[in-house]
Amino acid sequence: MIYIKKTGKVLGALGAGFIALKGLQAIKEKRSLRSLLVEETLDTVNLFPTIRSQEDMKNYIGNYYKPFKLPEEAKLRYRFKYLKGFDDTLEYVPKEQTSKVIFYIHGGSYWFQPLSFQYGMMHRLSNMADARVVMPIYPKAPIHNANEATAMVLSRYLYLINEEYIDPEDIVLVGDSAGGGMVLSLLQVMRNRKYPLPSKAILISPWLDVSNSNPEMEQLQAVDPILHVEDLKFEGKVYADGLSVKDPLVSPIYGDLTKLPPIHLFIGTHDIFYADAKKINEIAFEDNVDLTMYTYPNMDHVFPAYPIPEAKEVLKKIASLIK
């Protein structure tokens, strides 16, 4: 991700006194200095355009919306390629490949294509877990909707089972942000349709409720340098496209969570989605659902993708779950 890459240059330009002050702050907050500086860098940039109205949406379609094309960095640096026979699904195969498959659903508010840091995260995780990555690039809002996106992703999952003859027990569903929400929605669809379920699911900073109606989100907004509640409310409604914003297909927190494979949820406390992560953890406890939540103080949205020490430790944990 271009903005995070610039962090090293920023560090080089900062004075020793400033670094010392930030170092003390990091110690007080029990986090790495690098994570603090990355957070402050993220707070000064916009990863995505602001979309809160019909006018914003028209501007986005006219100036930003483009068909997917595999980025050169993803191809050359992270070695992703198109899955044979598809122009909307990618794969990465590590050198030490086992039978395990990471079926990865990327985030981006259901509107945006994957960013460099997401390719990098999957590249690192794949090599740690010795697992192949399969990554569907699902159709995006506002041109497409939840029904279309989930149908496409489900078809790629079934392709692995029915055409590549991969044992579902060797598949782990992994999703970050909106992709984490889609993972949980898909599990409910698979169970309801009696499709083979994967061995487990890993949710990284998942968007569990596109209604964004949890009042605690507004309180967390002050410490979240990336997400904005008002943007997400509009984007979620457009993605739902006629469905209730509380339909489990777009907001899996309102669905039936029973009889699903084990779920592992990773979240930081500087993330507005922390509010619903806590909520779904309570629901899971009450309904005896196999969900384990891992909470990381002072960490940001999808922090396992960032070039910080905390990310490496989380990816090690996730890799151990996949193995």
**Average pLDDT for runs of 10 along the chain of length 323:** 44 66 91 94 89 97 93 98 98 94 99 97 98 99 98 99 98 99 99 99 99 97 97 98 98 99 99 99 98 98 98 98 97
Secondary structure (DSSP) of 182-224: HHHHHHHHHHHHTPPPPSEEEEES----TT---THHHHHGGG-
Contacts of 182 (CB under 8 A, 6+ apart): 105, 110, 138, 149, 150, 153, 175
For the chain, the maximum distance between any two Cα atoms, rounded to a whole number of angstroms, is 61
Spatial CA neighbour of 218 closest among 205, 206, 228: 228
Neighbour-count burial of 214, counting CB atoms closer than 10 A to its CB (0-12 exposed, 13-18 middle, 19+ buried):
buried
CB 250 within 8 A of CB 185: yes
In this predicted structure, what is the pLDDT of residue 12? Answer: 54
In this predicted structure, what is the pLDDT of residue 134? Answer: 99
Task: Report, in this order, helix, strand and coil percent for the chain, each rounded to 5.
Answer: 45, 15, 40
In this predicted structure, what is the pLDDT of residue 293? Answer: 99
Domains and CATH numbers, the chain: 68-322 (3.40.50.1820)
Amino acid present at 10? V
Whole-model pTM? 0.93
The pairing of beta strand 200-204 with beta strand 263-270:
parallel
Secondary structure (DSSP) of 97-144: --S-EEEEE--STTTSPPPHHHHHHHHHHHHHHT-EEEEE----TTTS
In this predicted structure, what is the pLDDT of residue 111? Answer: 98
In this predicted structure, what is the pLDDT of residue 85? Answer: 97
